[in-house]
Amino acid sequence: MAAIRVLVVDDSVVIRKLLAETLSSDPEIEVVGSASDGRIALAKITQLNPDLLTLDIEMPVMNGLETLKEVRKSHPHLPVIMFSTLTERGAATTLDALSLGASDYVTKPTHTGGSDQAIASIRSELIPKIKALSSRPSSKLKTLPPPRPAVRIAAPANRRIEIVAIGTSTGGPNALGEVLPQIPKDFPVPIVVVQHMPPIFTRLLADRLAARSAISVEEGVAGVTLSGGHSWIAPGNFHMTVARAGVSWRLELNQNPPEHSCRPAVDVLFRSVAAVCRASVLGVVMTGMGSDGVLGAQQIREAGGQVIIQDEASSVVWGMPGLVCASGQADGVYPLDQLALEITRRVLQSRALNANSQSKAYATSEHPAK
């Protein structure tokens, strides 16, 4: 199999050298060139025909966003990974880049960690994304043990959906931007979301989604009581769970060890809603690399809940939903532009059926058969 051809674009000589050497140490990747600004990068894309581009945001002459706009005009399907700083400005600009068509992003290693830590960060974060976006999953994903066989416990008849739990990763910010704004304002149940992102990014993502959505969208806060017409996104570097609070549910946050190298993790959230809300859960797994969410989806279904997933064609990476599908845990597979409608339909239908059943039971008790 031919190596993945990568073009590195960054105005820092040190970063270009570090990326080139670290990426080239992987036998599946070939760094075919580098560029110090966007104009040079656009010329080299034509010359070198890379399979993927790593793109710095802050550059002279033509910055990352300007370069990305031009790349998308001439190469709409070329995978582009933004190289971002973990700052308020860096997070905001990264979200801008994702909305303009960037495939994914990684945060730059800090100067305080030294070169060894920077190399480790590139190997653990950037290389798997390069392979996933080039349809060549890492060897780690290839050797994942399969989930244990499903033991589906049938949901009680006409059980109402009382909570929606969504998990997503690579491609998730744009996917959430398609789904949450389509949820109606009077949506009767809460929505809890895990999007793999670091601190700052999750707050800014929630703010952007809130500005476009009829429902309220906020970053999760410990102790908040869940209610319909509201959505909460797990904050970066915290797992988010749902706990019983009398007749209601509340959010809880913790910094327990990462799962699947992620904190927040989808499995953590899904486990908690399966344990607390039982058959009243609708789980949704959307675009993302890796296996986070597979075991959590299984636990939702074993508790009697439902799980639906995004289809392969509309996913940036069909890792997470694909593995849920492969393990037999999906009750339905839908393209991105149909997910919000399906979520709304399932929730409203479950509640209408339940209300009709209660009405019939009441009528029978008031007027028993003679």
> Which residues are known catalytic residues?
169, 196, 292
Radius of gyration of the chain (CA): 22
225: number of CA atoms within 13 Å, CB side? 5
Report the C-alpha gap between 169 and 106 in whole angstroms: 12
Q: Are strands 80-84 and 29-35 parallel, antiparallel or unpaired?
A: unpaired
Report the C-alpha gap between 309 and 311 in whole angstroms: 6
Neighbours of 238 (CB within 10 A): 20
Measured distance between the N- and C-terminal CA atoms of the chain, rounded to whole angstroms: 77
Structure tokens at 294: 């597979």
Cα angle, residue 80 at apex, residues 99 and 77 outer, rounded to 5°? 85
Q: Which of these, 176, 170, 123, lies nearest to 319 by C-alpha position?
A: 170
Q: In sequence order, what are the beta bridge partners of 51?
A: none
3-class state of residue 250 by DSSP: strand
Which residue bears the tokens 């670290």? 22
Beta-carbon contacts of residue 130 (< 8 Å; ≥ 6 apart):
4, 6, 23, 29, 52, 54, 79, 81
Contacts of range 104-107, beta carbons closer than 8 Å, 24 or more positions apart = 104/79, 104/129, 104/133, 104/170, 104/171, 104/316, 105/81, 106/81, 106/82, 107/198
